[in-house]
Amino acid sequence: MLADPSMPEPARRWRERDLAVLWHPCTQMREHPDTLPLVPVERGEGAWLVGYDGRRYLDGVSSWWTNLHGHAEPRIAEAIARQARTLEQVILAGFSHAPAVELAERLLAIAPRQAGRAPLAKVFYADNGSAGVEVALKMAFHWFRNRGEERRTKFVALENGYHGETLGALAVGDIPLYRRIYAPLLAQALFAPSPDAYLAVPGESEEQCALRAADALADLFDRHPGEICALILEPRLQCAGGMRMHHPAYLRRARELCDANGVFLVADEIATGFGRTGTMFACEQAGVAPDLLCLSKGLTGGFLPLAAVLATQVLYDGFLDDSRERAFLHSHSYTGNPLACAAALASLDIFASDGVLERNRATAAAMARRAAALARQRHVADVRQAGMVVAFELCRDGDRGRPFDPALRIGLRAYRAALDRGVLLRPLGDVLYWMPPYCVDAAQLDLLAEATAEAIAEATACA
């Protein structure tokens, strides 16, 4: 099974050792390595991953949307090394450390703001995105308990949304592939229609589509008075749901509806945060501030796992009491790990010193030019962009009403075809997307576009 004479020796050896002991995430292991290649990576360098096979792969998905400034970025690497020689880890209950404090200060300073609304005021750390989502959900629920509002037990989430894979996070997710099998274990959430602009009916603008979804949200709130504690959503961009984008008008209306119904708004910016959609946070595009903001993925520049949940003073104050049970006792061993906080601080420094958001505007425009050429390809039904994310929806003859038969596995074919051309794309179903590290340059974008065009052609040749 592992015979692959074309693969150089060190790569083949690492692959064999891997498959003998590792169980990979998000993978039907049976497909390795014949249907699904397994690429052992030796090192990273900017937007490149360098394999043990001696080949370079352009990281078109920022290593699962985590990397911001490039792989092995020396300034972040150095900050981690310095911190490791000083203090690698300390319990965050009863003890404190400088990187955790400084990072909290800086996150609160850049968090989305809204006129007339009290700003986000406190930071709670966790160690991955799903855990951050659970923290936010538990906080919202617990806050109402502490007030004696015991009927407020429900969460509202959006159709096609994604918030992670632990049982709590999965309960508010709506991607059948991840959710369906575990449904019997999950807390019951209420799902509101997605504002996804791809679902606009003929003649409807993206804004009208978003407002139609907001009307449905209003109805849902009306049907459950006093029962809902929070609405959780991915502002602007539903990532795992196929890089589906929506008009910011939705978020504005959702904010108003939450306020009118006494419901907390949880913005999951785990994937959209830190400049990915063109602004530091996607909420800014709607001029809206949430009650709880979940951050992870790019928080450390893609170096170390860390999550931060930012909360308002009102939320925080709801836990101050003489009783321990009214406190938020949630804890993870590595809460606020100093190495991860140091990496995050170094990443924020790079935003300032390198003018990252401004440079991204030029890079996003360059991506748009290359994407426009691909839009003319026969099977491309939609091309959409939010800042540093461009997505291509593939359908039969470019007709939205006619998706490919999933059994054809167009996405997987495109994945392999791109890999053959030295580009890591990781389609979501039949949606191909570009989400490169921010340091991607013009020549790399050319390669990305060329490989994508060829991958689309090769993958759809079977259809």
303 sits near ligand PLP (criterion: CB under 6 A): no
- Residue with Cβ nearer ligand PLP (55 or 332): 332
Residue 129 to residues 23, 66, 96, 343, 401: CA-CA distances in angstroms?
A: 21, 11, 22, 16, 34
Piece of the chain touching ligand PLP by CB under 6 A; list 69-77, 129-137, 410-418, 429-437: 129-137
Q: Which residues contact 180 (CB under 8 A, 6 or more apart)?
A: none
133 sits near ligand PLP (criterion: CB under 6 A): yes
| Contacts with ligand PLP, 258-297, as mask; x by CB under 6 A | ----------x-xx------------------------xx
Piece of the chain touching ligand PLP by CB under 6 A; list 1-9, 15-23, 123-131, 400-408: 123-131
Pairwise CA distance, residues 108 & 120, whole Å: 6
> Scanning residues 82 to 111, which ones bind ligand PLP (CB under 6 A)?
none
CA angle at 17 for the pair 13 and 21, rounded to the nearest 5°: 170
* DSSP reduced 3-state for 90: coil
Shortest distance, position 334 Cβ to ligand PLP, whole Å? 13
Query: What is the number of alpha carbons within 13 Å of residue 226 lying toward its C-beta?
Result: 5
* DSSP reduced 3-state for 267: strand
- Residue with Cβ nearer ligand PLP (271 or 448): 271
Shortest distance, position 235 Cβ to ligand PLP, whole Å? 10
Whether the CA torsion 301, 303, 307, 308 is positive or negative: it is: negative
Shortest distance, position 171 Cβ to ligand PLP, whole Å? 13
* Cβ-closest position to ligand PLP: 129
Shortest distance, position 124 Cβ to ligand PLP, whole Å? 16
130 sits near ligand PLP (criterion: CB under 6 A): yes
Q: Which residues contact 208 (CB under 8 A, 6 or more apart)?
A: 200
Piece of the chain touching ligand PLP by CB under 6 A; list 46-54, 78-86, 105-113, 232-240: 232-240
Element housing 345 (H / E) = helix 338-353
Shortest distance, position 428 Cβ to ligand PLP, whole Å? 11
Shortest distance, position 65 Cβ to ligand PLP, whole Å? 6
Q: Would you say 309 and 136 are in contact if contact means Cβ atoms under 8 Å apart?
A: yes
112 sits near ligand PLP (criterion: CB under 6 A): no
Shortest distance, position 126 Cβ to ligand PLP, whole Å? 9
Pairwise CA distance, residues 255 & 267, whole Å: 10
Shortest distance, position 202 Cβ to ligand PLP, whole Å? 30
- Residue with Cβ nearer ligand PLP (210 or 435): 435
234 sits near ligand PLP (criterion: CB under 6 A): yes
196 sits near ligand PLP (criterion: CB under 6 A): no
CA 98 to chain centre: 27
Piece of the chain touching ligand PLP by CB under 6 A; list 78-86, 161-169, 221-229, 436-444: 161-169
239 sits near ligand PLP (criterion: CB under 6 A): yes
Residue 102 to residues 85, 97, 119, 144: CA-CA distances in angstroms?
A: 18, 9, 18, 30
- Residue with Cβ nearer ligand PLP (137 or 200): 137
* DSSP reduced 3-state for 231: strand
Among 80, 240, 263, 266, binds ligand PLP (CB under 6 A): 240
171 sits near ligand PLP (criterion: CB under 6 A): no
Among 124, 125, 143, 162, binds ligand PLP (CB under 6 A): 162
246 sits near ligand PLP (criterion: CB under 6 A): no
Shortest distance, position 146 Cβ to ligand PLP, whole Å? 26
360 sits near ligand PLP (criterion: CB under 6 A): no
Q: Would you say 449 and 403 are in contact if contact means Cβ atoms under 8 Å apart?
A: no
- 46 Rama sector, left if φ>0, alpha if ψ -120 to 50, beta otherwise: left
How is residue 249 written in tokens? 């008008």
**How many residues make contact with ligand PLP (CB under 6 A)?**
15
Pairwise CA distance, residues 269 & 309, whole Å: 10
62 sits near ligand PLP (criterion: CB under 6 A): no
- 44 Rama sector, left if φ>0, alpha if ψ -120 to 50, beta otherwise: beta
Pairwise CA distance, residues 436 & 66, whole Å: 10
Binding site for ligand PLP (CB under 6 A): 128-130, 133, 162-164, 234, 239-240, 268, 270-271, 296-297
